[in-house]
Amino acid sequence: MDNRDPFRYNVLTSGHRACSGCGEAMAARMVTDLVGPDAIYINATGCLQVFTSHNQQSAWQAPWIHSVFANAAAVASGVEAALRIKGKETPVVVQAGDGGTFDIGLQCLSGMIERGHDVLFVCYDNEAYMNTGVQRSGSTPHAVRTSTSPPGQFSQGKQELKKDVISIIAAHNMPYAATATIAYFPDLKAKVEKAMRIKGPRFLQILSPCPLGWAHDSALSVSVSRLAVETGLFPLVELEHGELTGVMRLAEQKPVEEYLRPQGRFKHLFANKAGGVELRHLQALADARIRRYDLLNVDTQWDTETAMQSERHGRGGYTVSSAVREVK
């Protein structure tokens, strides 16, 4: 008999060592509770792995494997293949930071998708290598201060742009890829549930503010992630078989300054003229994303409902089950 109380049982339980206000901890709690305990979780090295599995203790109330930094998707591929041979339908979920996704894990992730493994890959995107001391990653946005992109005489923080990973992943022509963030739980919930109804490789990029690395008040993680969406800097989108099938539209666009000001990682941009140039650059990047996804083309409030109604197709050799995968 299953004695787990569905209202009180958390896959990621309390007592772990995340910093207060950790967006990654919030996102992981949401995702894993939606997927449920009867799944196999593979965790790349990173903050989530470190703060949940310390010295023979574990905060996971589900089967959980720690892979190395680079190979979580390869481990998941093997687990999924073994389950398939055994005729089991247990969901397989990868969890990784942006370093483990955008950079060092990208090759294994690409292979996993190309081979068509039935795995959900979740990237908790906190836009730097947080676990090892806030080094810049391929996900770190332009002009951000990190320990390896310090602003100074020659630069205003990171010089390169944030890698457009959702487009790279969607270009694999895979069944489902989407972005989400902790500020919009109904949207995140709908996307996780939708991903779990689809067979084949699926990918979620969840913006997960890190109070330590972003240097914002730990009480502001949710509002900061909301501002990332409202400014256009982090569009909430869905892509199926490479095509855009859903966007969360904006009633109005907020200026990027509202998002940047509460975060110490952008503080240098408000200190001098050179920083002001980068502020305009960041505003232009947000404007470009708004145009690209047509985020303002709506006369109502948040258009979540419509965004969630996008049809799934069984194209590309993958089948789509009509019911939510049964969790036994």
Ligand X SMILES: Cc1ncc(C[n+]2csc(CCOP(=O)(O)OP(=O)(O)O)c2C)c(N)n1
The reply to whether 196 sits near ligand X by the rule CB under 6 A is no
Q: Residues near 219 by Cβ (< 8 Å), separated by ≥ 6?
A: 21
The reply to whether 51 sits near ligand SF4 by the rule CB under 6 A is yes
Dist. CA 326–CA 4, nearest whole Å: 16
Q: Residues near 272 by Cβ (< 8 Å), separated by ≥ 6?
A: none
Q: Which C-beta is closer to ligand X: that of 77 or that of 137?
A: 137
**Quick one: which of 320, 209, 299 has its CA closest to 262?**
209
Which one of the spans 122-130, 239-247, 252-260, 290-298 is the region binding ligand X (CB under 6 A)? 122-130
Which one of the spans 87-95, 128-136, 160-168, 304-312 is the region binding ligand X (CB under 6 A)? 128-136
Q: Which C-beta is closer to ligand X: that of 64 or that of 318?
A: 64
99 binds, among ligand X, ligand SF4, none (CB under 5 to 8 A by kind): ligand X
The reply to whether 100 sits near ligand SF4 by the rule CB under 6 A is no
From the CB of 31, what's the least distance to ligand SF4, in Å?
Answer: 15
Query: SS3 letters for 253-265?
Result: CCCHHHHHCCCHH
Could you tell me if 269 and 263 are in contact, meaning their C-beta atoms sit under 8 angstroms apart? Answer: no
212 binds, among ligand SF4, ligand X, none (CB under 5 to 8 A by kind): ligand SF4
Could you tell me if 125 and 205 are in contact, meaning their C-beta atoms sit under 8 angstroms apart? Answer: yes
Which is it for strands 40-43 and 92-97: parallel, antiparallel or unpaired? parallel
Which one of the spans 130-138, 150-158, 220-228, 305-313 is the region binding ligand X (CB under 6 A)? 130-138
* 179, β-bridge pairs: 205
Residue whose structure tokens are 């590309």: 316
From the CB of 139, what's the least distance to ligand X, in Å?
Answer: 7
**Quick one: which of 306, 186, 315 has its CA closest to 247?**
306
Residues 192-221 that bind ligand SF4 (CB under 6 A): 210-213
Could you tell me if 249 and 297 are in contact, meaning their C-beta atoms sit under 8 angstroms apart? Answer: yes
Q: Total residues at the site for ligand SF4 (CB under 6 A)?
A: 12
246 binds, among ligand X, ligand SF4, none (CB under 5 to 8 A by kind): none
From the CB of 254, what's the least distance to ligand SF4, in Å?
Answer: 24
| From 43, 131, 179, 221, residue interacting with ligand X (rule: CB under 6 A) | 131
From the CB of 133, what's the least distance to ligand X, in Å?
Answer: 9
| Token reading at 317 | 């050799």
CA dihedral 52, 58, 63, 64 (to 10 degrees): 40
Which is it for strands 237-240 and 243-247: parallel, antiparallel or unpaired? antiparallel
Per-position x/- string for 16-45, each x denoting binding to ligand X as judged by CB under 6 A, each - no binding: --------x--------------------x
**What type of residue is 47?**
C
The reply to whether 18 sits near ligand SF4 by the rule CB under 6 A is yes
From the CB of 211, what's the least distance to ligand SF4, in Å?
Answer: 5
b/e per residue 89-102 (b: at least 16 CB within 10 A): eebbbbbbbbbbbb
Which DSSP category does 310 fall into? Answer: P
Residues 112-131 that bind ligand SF4 (CB under 6 A): 126, 130
**Contact positions vs ligand X (CB under 6 A):** 24, 45-48, 69-70, 96-100, 126, 129-132, 137
**Contact positions vs ligand SF4 (CB under 6 A):** 18-19, 22, 24, 47, 51, 126, 130, 210-213
